[in-house]
Amino acid sequence: MEYYNKVIESVGVRYVKGNNFKIERPVTITDYTDSENTAILLHRGSLNYGEDQESVNEGEILFIPASRPTRVSFGTVTKRNETNNENFLENKKKYLQTISFKNIKNLDDDCITTVTFEAKVFDVVNFFNSLGIPAFVIRFNDRIASIIEDVVKESEQNTPGKERVIKLYTELLVVELVRHILKNRLFVEELSTNSTYFKDPRLIDMFNYIKKNIGGDLSNKVLAKVANVSEDYVGQYFKMLTGINPQDYIEYQRMEAAVELLRTTKKSIRDIGKEVGYKDTAYFCRRFKMMYGLPAGKMRRRESLINVQ
């Protein structure tokens, strides 16, 4: 139990966004993904996920780890209703209409509540993504459903302490997600074998160095010096503790840093690419689109596209 307490304590949580939606038009997104974790609570109607299109029942939650492309269907769809994530985001108003909780009670239409949040180990590693777990449905858990509702209800208010309350609810959501995984023995092996970030201080030194020098030289030769291991061994050492090789991890962190700059600054795509370690702008743009499913230039519009008004 102490091991899992350490896992939970190591995860930093940040609320990103939350909304209630009415399904305006059924749609299947073949590669639905977000750079952060997403929990989707189905109030009424049809929600399916995965290649086998497993059903989510009313009152249940679909959880999609950050940057984990998943086939998702809102409403009862046909082959003609399929689209990719990029087109879905560009045309989201056609498919989803933002509504309040008050309206949910009076609707007979398909409707959902979504909460998107960041969960990072030592403010560096995306926790749920790093476990390597796929999207999964949370059944028979009214507590998690209630927390998701409470997060979005609070976001609709304009009262003192709103941000603090949302933060507390979001942290509680992450704790309850981990408890649900443990209680139902879901992905426990992944949780035990992949949550090794805090076991070796040399790994933490590398995490912190990568974060502070995201635009600089992060070759295996440099990382070997940081961790005080041989250059030939550093890749094996890193993968043994994290499940991924260091250069793949570095690219993921560079892309996350790029997303943050795109969301919070007016810097050019070229300058952002250079700032996060890409000298070749065209290569940066190709890798960005491959990871997120849409061009870097469109990421600046992402918040307005996702938070449909």
Contact 178, 8 (CB under 8 A): yes
Among the listed residues 153, 49, 58, the one whose alpha carbon sits nearest the alpha carbon of residue 102: 153
pLDDT the model gives residue 305: 46
pLDDT the model gives residue 1: 63
Q: Whole-angstrom distance between the N-terminal and C-terminal Cα of the chain?
A: 44
Three state DSSP letters for 82-103: EECHHHHHHCHHHHEEEECHHH
For residues 251 and 238, give the distance between their C-alpha atoms in angstroms, rounded to a whole number. Answer: 14
pLDDT the model gives residue 170: 97
Q: What single string gives the DSSP state of each residue in 117-159?
A: EEEEETTTEEHHHHTT---EEE-S-HHHHHHHHHHHHHHT---
| Burial zone of 284 (CB within 10 Å; 0-12 exposed, 13-18 middle, 19+ buried) | buried
Taken in order of first residue, the domains within the chain and their CATH numbers are: 1-193 (2.60.120), 200-298 (1.10.10.60)
Contact 15, 114 (CB under 8 A): no
pLDDT the model gives residue 281: 95
pLDDT the model gives residue 165: 97
pLDDT the model gives residue 123: 67
Q: Which pair of structure tokens corresponds to residue 83? A: 């689209």
Instruction: Give me the residues of the chain with pLDDT under 70, please.
Output: 1, 3, 122-124, 193-199, 301-309
Among the listed residues 156, 128, 165, 140, the one whose alpha carbon sits nearest the alpha carbon of residue 38: 128
For residues 14 and 262, give the distance between their C-alpha atoms in angstroms, rounded to a whole number. Answer: 18
Vertex 56, ends 59 and 135: CA angle to 5°? Answer: 115
pLDDT the model gives residue 307: 43
Q: Which pair of structure tokens corresponds to residue 162? A: 């709103």
pLDDT the model gives residue 233: 94
Contact 14, 118 (CB under 8 A): yes
How many angstroms from the chain centroid is the CA of residue 92?
Answer: 19
Half-sphere exposure of 121 (CA within 13 A, CB side): 21
